[in-house]
Amino acid sequence: LYFACYEKLKKTLSDVIHAGGNSHVANGAAGCVATLLHDAAMNPAEVVKQRMQMYNSPYQRVTDCVRAVWRNEGAGAFYRSYTTQLTMNIPFQAIHFMTYEFLQEQLNPHRQYNPGSHMVSGACAGAVAAAATTPLDVCKTLLNTQESLALSSNISGHITGMANAFRTVYQVGGVTAYFRGVQARVIYQMPSTAIAWSVYEFFKYILTKRQEERRAGK
């Protein structure tokens, strides 16, 4: 769903914005829409996973957790964190896809299957996106953990919303606090995005090659 949506929208928007060429605006927009669909499909799974991972979780099976949440809290509980997730993921994926496509233009201008260029471009794209969105990740973590040190500096004693989290982080540690953990986040994302793009481009190449061989056989 994620890559299929991205590829379709990238082609459609690129033809409109820059016919026959590559448009960074189209790449970023396609990444944003793909993220909307991906997170809409995966958010319920994330809610169930987190509830089953909690210490002394009462749920033994996924189906038990789904039924209990649906019965006690309604369908809306599966999407309570959806907007917060999008606040984080849309900027990340927009930067990620735009950087990957830009690097492919530089390293692989003919856009052929080239495992080395896909891996390097994927790793660098993940690193750039991770570094750029670290402030959002820091604020999201604060919202999820309600860290005691931050709570003591907050007037209300409870942190709600990204705007409140941004203000609290600045009060606690200044501008540098927004980039705490940036190295760990970059190190985590680089192999993840490198593997994702390498695997995706491999299967894209194999499937496209088979389609071309079938057409030639006909």
Query: The tokens 């927004």 sit on which residue?
Result: 178
Q: What is the pLDDT of residue 149?
A: 54
Pick from 110, 102, 95, 100: which is nearest to 198 by CA? 100
The angle formed by the CA atoms of residues 25, 188 and 110, to the nearest 5 degrees, is 40
What separation in angstroms does the CA of 213 have from each of 96, 104, 154, 208, 209?
33, 26, 64, 9, 6
Report the pLDDT value the prediction gives residue 140, as an integer from 0 to 100: 77
The rounded Cα 176 to chain-centroid distance in angstroms is 23
pTM: 0.79
H-run or E-run covering 126:
helix 115-132
Structure tokens at 149: 């040190």
Burial class (CB in 10 A: 0-12, 13-18, 19+), 159: buried
> 191-207 burial, b for 16+ CB within 10 Å, e for fewer?
eebbebbbebbeeeeee
The pLDDT score that the predictor gives to residue 147 is: 55
Q: Are 197 and 118 in contact (CB under 8 A)?
A: yes
Q: What is the pLDDT of residue 84?
A: 77
d(CA 60, CA 77): 19
What's the pLDDT at 187? 95
Taking the chain (218 residues) in runs of 10, the rounded mean pLDDT of each run is 88 82 86 91 85 80 90 85 84 93 93 94 96 88 61 59 80 88 94 95 92 82
How big is the chain, counted in residues? 218
Q: How far apart are CA 180 and CA 3, in angstroms?
A: 31
Upper half-sphere CA count for residue 18 (Cβ side, 13 Å): 9
Is the Cα dihedral 148, 150, 153, 155 positive or negative?
negative
Q: Is the torsion defined by CA of 135, 22, 18, 33 positive or negative?
A: negative
Over the stretch 120-133, which tens digit does the pLDDT of each residue have? Answer: 999 999 999 999 99
Q: pLDDT tens, 115-170? A: 999 999 999 999 999 999 999 888 877 776 555 555 565 545 566 677 878 888 88
Q: Residue 158's pLDDT is what?
A: 64
Q: What is the pLDDT of residue 97?
A: 92
